[in-house]
Chain A
């Protein structure tokens, strides 16, 4: 496998992991909205589903993107595909 193919395979795997986490917090948990609402886990005292819709999922997406960007940068560095300063 060429260097570029290996880079792309790692990139693709990272995408799958990222999308899996995204799926859980954007779609997965809301399949169980009514059940979660009754849960005794109450972040900051809010009902659980309500909290996810106003803060939880949103905050997780922010963190997820930064985590993804960091991991992707590591992959690029590993294969020497990082852009040089000022390159257009």
Chain B
């Protein structure tokens, strides 16, 4: 069936894979009709997809450094776009984003704008130039462009802080989904998630991660879009929801006016389980100040352009030109999901709120709602809660609580879709969290093995030894991440936003100025990275411990402080120290020209 090289057959291979997955969904749907239990369906979905990823990981095993670090630089444009989209869209995007929009509305949608707008910066400022550079990792670029182990090591520090913050959130998300779908305790599920992540990345490094990420993208996009279209058609909102939900958006605003946003008393709220939120913000109107919206969007955009696990995906394309186009494809594939998240939030809300729909619960009697099957399930999982605060026996808008992550996971069930869709959504969430965790764990362990071990500690190490070190580090970092994730210190979304701020504080300007400002030198870059990271972190600690902050910069936007300090210190220190030597200046000139040899050799 498949002849010739794997790369030439990609469309066919993934076409068959997609067809096979659709057939699997149909088989599960038939099994459900035949009486298979919901629990078994959940187990089948998660186990089947995870096994497929592990198989791809095993088939992609490699003993070559350029395959391990950059997938041999032969990933075609569109497929790299898909892999990047999966790498990018984390458990937070898949599970938590629609929930965030659901509860917080406009103020939250700054994340949608920020997490897409950042790609314009990636495409225009960085990706093609870093591809021309020919580096294996982001610190590889910093270390070679500025010269010196100190610059390289500082970049590794920033990368590790940012990516590690992010990866704990992703392992947490895989644990949450695995525990719900497989019905095992969270503390164990975290390690099940970790084992799946390591199976995909350990043997084949970037090559294995690339091909599993493409597979994961296909699963997650089907899992996200299918329920959106299905619910929309089911409640007669329109066959193409993205263009047809204006009436529903208006209807929600009308219902919000009718029900009213009642502020709950502190005593009432104390009875609500931790982490659950009520509908307190209008769905579609502008409920945040321009600064609150823009500052959050700016942090996410600059963070996007500095997160190493995204940047390193563009090191895998065959050329500079394809790297550039690949960014466009990445954003297109991301757009498919992001533009659907607000639609899912709208459909979920109207399903619950509208008394004219069979699924509406607001305005019904409390006992009736408490008797609903799905309510009991999700209440038991501590993801949903109702309480008759005012004692009138009917459920008011302010008496219904749900966890943000439950919006995506529970909506199919609430809207009365067969359980097979819920199983599919769980598999999609697992794919999203796993694909991002893979990329992050690999980014950290590659930086430690390539930049710290090979470039700084033992430059004479031979290939076999380097790859063993890389794999040992991968496992260690995975375990460290899982251990911290099991402690559940910070919610999924909070950690993710912090990761962007950390990355932006330390890496944004050193990366951008490395290409766009020839005068930037090593002392400047080191100052920029370290002072940026330190000042950003200090601001976060200060605000977290009760500090008032300034200029309306919150713990979610502390990257603005870090990046500003980074920029100023980098420029000042660069200008008061000697200009880079002629060889470095020539190197920057060469980076700016797409044709010709890469700066670093094919194997280095």
What residues of chain A have their CB less than 8 Å away from a CB belonging to chain B?
4, 7-8, 11, 14-15, 18-19, 22, 25-27, 30-34, 37, 42, 44-47, 49-50, 52-55, 57-59, 61-62, 64-66, 68-69, 72-73, 76, 80-84, 87-88
Query: Can you name the residue of chain B whose Cβ is closest to the Cβ of A67?
Result: B328
Residues of B within 8 A of A64 (CB): 120
Contact of B477 with A by CB under 8 A: no
Query: Can you name the residue of chain A whose Cβ is closest to the Cβ of B106?
Result: A53
Is the CB–CB distance between A53 and B589 below 8 Å?
Answer: no
| Interface residue SS majority, chain A | helix
Is the CB–CB distance between A88 and B119 below 8 Å?
Answer: no
Is the CB–CB distance between B321 and A83 below 8 Å?
Answer: yes
> With the chains together, A60 CA to B573 CA distance in Å?
38
Contact with A83, one of B247, B297, B319, B331 (Cβ below 8 angstroms):
B319
Residues of A within 8 A of B284 (CB): 46-47, 50
| Interface residue SS majority, chain B | helix
Residues of B within 8 A of A59 (CB): 335, 339
Contact of B536 with A by CB under 8 A: no
Is the CB–CB distance between B324 and A72 below 8 Å?
Answer: yes
Output the least CB separation between A21 and chain B (Å): 8
> With the chains together, A42 CA to B338 CA distance in Å?
20
Known A-B contacts A45-B246, A81-B594; A58 and B109 likewise in contact (beta carbons under 8 Å): no
Contact of B463 with A by CB under 8 A: no
- Could you show 7 A-B contacts with beta carbons less than 8 Å apart? A7-B593, A31-B290, A50-B106, A50-B284, A54-B342, A62-B328, A88-B597
Residues of A within 8 A of B335 (CB): 58-59, 61-62
Residues of B within 8 A of A58 (CB): 112-113, 116, 335, 338-339
Contact of B499 with A by CB under 8 A: no
Is the CB–CB distance between A44 and B243 below 8 Å?
Answer: yes
Contact of B286 with A by CB under 8 A: yes
Contact with B301, one of A26, A52, A84 (Cβ below 8 angstroms):
A26
Contact with A69, one of B123, B244, B339, B598 (Cβ below 8 angstroms):
B123
Is the CB–CB distance between A61 and B593 below 8 Å?
Answer: no
- Which of the listed residues A46, A61, A72 has the most CB atoms from chain B within 10 Å of its own CB? A61
Contact with B120, one of A22, A30, A37, A73 (Cβ below 8 angstroms):
A22
Using A4-B589, A22-B120, A26-B301 as known contacts, list a sample of 20 further A-B pairs with CB atoms less than 8 Å apart, ordered by residue number in A: A4-B592, A25-B117, A26-B114, A26-B297, A31-B294, A33-B286, A33-B288, A45-B250, A46-B245, A47-B285, A58-B338, A65-B123, A68-B124, A68-B324, A69-B324, A73-B321, A76-B595, A81-B594, A83-B319, A83-B320
Residues of B within 8 A of A55 (CB): 242, 339
Is the CB–CB distance between B120 and A18 below 8 Å?
Answer: yes
What residues of chain B have their CB less than 8 Å away from a CB belonging to chain A?
73, 106, 109-110, 112-114, 116-117, 119-121, 123-125, 128, 242-247, 249-250, 284-286, 288, 290, 293-294, 297-298, 301, 319-321, 324-325, 327-328, 331-332, 335, 338-339, 341-343, 589, 592-598, 602
Residues of A within 8 A of B245 (CB): 46
Query: Can you name the residue of chain A whose Cβ is closest to the Cβ of B134?
Result: A88
Is the CB–CB distance between B293 and A30 below 8 Å?
Answer: yes
Is the CB–CB distance between B285 and A88 below 8 Å?
Answer: no
Query: Can you name the residue of chain B whose Cβ is closest to the Cβ of A85?
Result: B319
Residues of A within 8 A of B324 (CB): 68-69, 72-73
> With the chains together, A11 CA to B593 CA distance in Å?
10
Is the CB–CB distance between A19 and B286 below 8 Å?
Answer: no
> With the chains together, A27 CA to B602 CA distance in Å?
40
Query: Can you name the residue of chain B whose Cβ is closest to the Cβ of A18?
Result: B124
Is the CB–CB distance between B117 and A49 below 8 Å?
Answer: no
> With the chains together, A75 CA to B216 CA distance in Å?
36
Residues of B within 8 A of A88 (CB): 73, 597-598, 602
Is the CB–CB distance between A53 and B112 below 8 Å?
Answer: yes
> With the chains together, A45 CA to B245 CA distance in Å?
8
> With the chains together, A83 CA to B332 CA distance in Å?
25
> With the chains together, A79 CA to B294 CA distance in Å?
38
> With the chains together, A69 CA to B327 CA distance in Å?
9
> With the chains together, A61 CA to B174 CA distance in Å?
30
Is the CB–CB distance between B595 and A37 below 8 Å?
Answer: no
Is the CB–CB distance between B123 and A47 below 8 Å?
Answer: no
> With the chains together, A26 CA to B114 CA distance in Å?
7
Query: Can you name the residue of chain B whose Cβ is closest to the Cβ of A44?
Result: B243
Output the least CB separation between B541 and chain A (Å): 28
Output the least CB separation between A71 and chain B (Å): 10
> With the chains together, A22 CA to B121 CA distance in Å?
9
Known A-B contacts A22-B121, A81-B594, A84-B595; A62 and B247 likewise in contact (beta carbons under 8 Å): no
Cβ-closest 6 pairs across A and B? A45-B246, A26-B117, A54-B342, A53-B109, A65-B328, A69-B324
Is the CB–CB distance between B116 and A61 below 8 Å?
Answer: yes
Query: Can you name the residue of chain B whose Cβ is closest to the Cβ of A35?
Result: B286
Residues of A within 8 A of B594 (CB): 76, 81-83
Contact with A65, one of B119, B593, B602 (Cβ below 8 angstroms):
B119
Is the CB–CB distance between A65 and B117 below 8 Å?
Answer: no
Is the CB–CB distance between A87 and B123 below 8 Å?
Answer: no
Is the CB–CB distance between A33 and B290 below 8 Å?
Answer: yes
- Which of the listed residues A8, A30, A80 has the most CB atoms from chain B within 10 Å of its own CB? A30
- Which of the listed residues B112, B113, B592 has the most CB atoms from chain A within 10 Å of its own CB? B113
> With the chains together, A18 CA to B246 CA distance in Å?
31
Residues of B within 8 A of A82 (CB): 321, 594-595
Is the CB–CB distance between B320 and A30 below 8 Å?
Answer: no
Residues of B within 8 A of A30 (CB): 110, 113, 290, 293-294, 297
Query: Can you name the residue of chain B whose Cβ is closest to the Cβ of A36?
Result: B286
Residues of A within 8 A of B602 (CB): 88
> With the chains together, A11 CA to B591 CA distance in Å?
13
Query: Can you name the residue of chain A whose Cβ is closest to the Cβ of B124?
Result: A18
Output the least CB separation between B333 and chain A (Å): 10
> With the chains together, A65 CA to B124 CA distance in Å?
8
> With the chains together, A69 CA to B293 CA distance in Å?
29
> With the chains together, A83 CA to B119 CA distance in Å?
23
Residues of A within 8 A of B113 (CB): 26, 30, 52-53, 57-58
Query: Can you name the residue of chain B whose Cβ is closest to the Cβ of A32?
Result: B290
